[in-house]
């Protein structure tokens, strides 16, 4: 796509990157066919091709209005369009640039800015989020319905209770002492409060494979929340903090940095890109990205026959967008669950987003609700006992309206 950048951005690195991406788009429109918001709204400007065009106009110096912002806000950043695009257009990178620019060129009303700032603060601090969640649970019945559905009555379902964590029992402590391989795990920001049993289950399963999984206490949010809410400087600060937290473990020879939430994995695998111009961190960030593995990538390469046999379950699996489109990991978890003896049911429209998408469910509740209803209808169509997924956002979003339990897939190997 021919582009003539405006003076304000022409000679910047950001402008040159955006221009290269725009030039790779041949405007064919194939991507519209798999875009969830285009499917719901049928408006060209709510599909990837239209949004790319809006961003091109913005970069060329044409007026930017609240309407431009609204169409970009409705994008889930699911990156389904990247998977579909035959020309390899890096839409995810372009929308990051577009979002940052639209905040500058068409500032939001104060109420919207405050809401976004509150979300960034509230969701990224595990202690603050945990306290807010407990408070919300205690007054859940009094909350407006739009807010109530985001407050689960208890932790999101997920297998064995966290109290039985392998690290807590004498047998387990003895077992841990014999583990010869060491990996880091990211605890994340909302997962410790909403589904602490996910990482506990991952520790138990990996311990049986001889792997010790440890968390660095000073690591925190991966930076995705800031990144998706157009606050790249804050996101980069979070990335540097995590690198500092992990670096002593990396120098000590840790084998991998394991992500149990695919949304975090997708972001940490891009630390090298985000910090590529930071002389103090570029090299370390690239190393961190290289070492980062989704939990599924770790288990894919292990001998799972040493695990105790799990009772077979009928499962509908929801692959998060950050797993299948962000990290391009398709079929890996389904294969692991099948190897473990579970029955995986076919699911229609498995490529589509469930509507969770980070803070999207809170900021775009109507579209998010429509996508969830469509996703649950497909997931439940063949009568599963359970729905399994790989990201805390999808898990809690689906669980709020599902007729069957929604679990993290690792709990199905933890018995």
Chain positions contacting ligand SF4, by CB under 6 A:
25-31, 35-37, 48-49, 51-52, 75-81, 85, 87, 89, 91
Taking the complex as a whole, how short is the minimal distance between the CB of residue 82 and ligand SF4, in angstroms?
7
- Cβ proximity to ligand SF4: between 97 and 285 the closer is 97
Taking the complex as a whole, how short is the minimal distance between the CB of residue 95 and ligand SF4, in angstroms?
7
Taking the complex as a whole, how short is the minimal distance between the CB of residue 6 and ligand SF4, in angstroms?
21
Taking the complex as a whole, how short is the minimal distance between the CB of residue 32 and ligand SF4, in angstroms?
7
- Cβ proximity to ligand SF4: between 47 and 272 the closer is 47
- Cβ proximity to ligand SF4: between 384 and 393 the closer is 393
User: Are 202 and 390 contacting, i.e. CB atoms less than 8 angstroms apart?
Assistant: no
Taking the complex as a whole, how short is the minimal distance between the CB of residue 107 and ligand SF4, in angstroms?
22
Taking the complex as a whole, how short is the minimal distance between the CB of residue 367 and ligand SF4, in angstroms?
9
- Cβ proximity to ligand SF4: between 76 and 285 the closer is 76
- Cβ proximity to ligand SF4: between 68 and 191 the closer is 68
- Cβ proximity to ligand SF4: between 41 and 209 the closer is 41
- Cβ proximity to ligand SF4: between 31 and 250 the closer is 31
- Cβ proximity to ligand SF4: between 78 and 225 the closer is 78
- Cβ proximity to ligand SF4: between 102 and 307 the closer is 102
Nearest to 197 by CA among 342, 398, 414: 414
Taking the complex as a whole, how short is the minimal distance between the CB of residue 173 and ligand SF4, in angstroms?
45
CA distances from 253 to 42, 183, 250, 291, 320 (A): 51, 9, 5, 11, 30
Beta partners for residue 183, in sequence order: 213
Taking the complex as a whole, how short is the minimal distance between the CB of residue 175 and ligand SF4, in angstroms?
43
Taking the complex as a whole, how short is the minimal distance between the CB of residue 74 and ligand SF4, in angstroms?
7
Q: 3-state SS string over the chain?
A: CCCCCCHHHHCCHHHHHHHHHHHHCCCCCHHHHHCHHHHHHCCHHHCHHHHHHHHHHHHCCCCCCHHHHHHHHCCCCCCHHHHHCCCCCCHHHHHHHHHHHHHHHCCCCHHHHHHHHHHHHHHHCHHHHHHHHHHHHHCHHHCCHHHHCCCCCCCCCCCCCHHHCHHHCHHHHHHHHCCCEEEEECCCCCHHHHCCHHHHHHHHHHHHCCEEEEECCCCCCCCHHHHHCCCHHHHHHHHHHHHHHHHHHHHCCCCCEEECCHHHHHHHCCHHHHCCCCCCCHHHHHHHHHHEEEHHHHHHCCCHHHCCCCCCCEEEECCCHHHHHHCCCCCHHHHHHHHCCCEECCCCCCCCCCCCCCCHHHHCHHHHHHHHHHHHHHHHCCCCCEEEECCHHHHHHHHCCCCCCEEEHHHHHCC
């Amino acid at each position: 796509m021919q582009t003539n950048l405006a003076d304000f951005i022409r000679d910047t690195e950001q402008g040159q990157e955006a221009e290269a991406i725009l030039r790779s788009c041949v405007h064919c429109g194939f991507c519209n066919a798999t875009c969830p918001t285009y499917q719901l709204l049928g408006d060209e400007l709510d599909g990837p091709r239209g949004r790319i065009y809006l961003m091109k106009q913005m970069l060329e110096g044409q007026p930017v209005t609240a309407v431009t912002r609204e169409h970009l806000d409705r994008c889930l950043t699911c990156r389904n369009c990247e998977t579909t695009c035959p020309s390899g257009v890096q839409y995810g990178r372009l929308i990051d640039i577009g979002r940052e620019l639209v905040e500058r060129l068409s500032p939001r009303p104060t109420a919207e800015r405050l809401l976004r700032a509150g979300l960034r603060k509230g969701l990224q601090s595990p202690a603050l989020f945990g306290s807010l969640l407990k408070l919300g649970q205690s007054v859940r019945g009094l909350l407006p319905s739009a807010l109530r559905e985001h407050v689960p009555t208890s932790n999101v379902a997920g297998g064995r209770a966290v109290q039985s964590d392998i690290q807590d029992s004498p047998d387990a402590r003895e077992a841990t002492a014999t583990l010869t391989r060491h990996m880091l795990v990211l605890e994340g920001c909302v997962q410790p409060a909403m589904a602490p049993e996910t990482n506990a289950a991952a520790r138990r399963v990996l311990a049986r494979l001889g792997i010790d999984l440890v968390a660095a206490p000073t690591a925190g949010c991966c930076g995705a929340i800031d990144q998706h809410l157009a606050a790249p400087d804050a996101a980069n600060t979070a990335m540097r903090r995590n690198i500092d937290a992990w670096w002593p473990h990396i120098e000590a020879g840790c084998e991998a940095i394991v992500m149990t939430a695919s949304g975090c994995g997708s972001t940490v695998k891009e630390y090298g890109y985000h910090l590529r111009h930071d002389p103090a961190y570029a090299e370390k960030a690239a190393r961190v990205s290289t070492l980062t593995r989704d939990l599924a990538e770790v288990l894919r390469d292990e001998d799972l026959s040493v695990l105790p046999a799990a009772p077979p379950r009928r499962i509908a699996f929801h692959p998060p967008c950050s797993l299948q489109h962000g990290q391009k990991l398709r079929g890996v978890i389904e294969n692991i669950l099948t190897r473990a003896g579970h029955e995986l049911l076919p699911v229609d429209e498995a490529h589509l987003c469930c509507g969770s998408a980070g803070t999207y469910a809170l900021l775009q509740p109507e579209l998010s609700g429509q996508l969830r209803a469509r996703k649950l209808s497909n997931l439940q169509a063949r009568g599963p006992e359970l729905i399994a997924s790989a990201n805390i956002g999808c898990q809690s979003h689906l669980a709020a309206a599902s007729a069957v339990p929604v679990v993290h897939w690792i709990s199905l190997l933890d018995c």
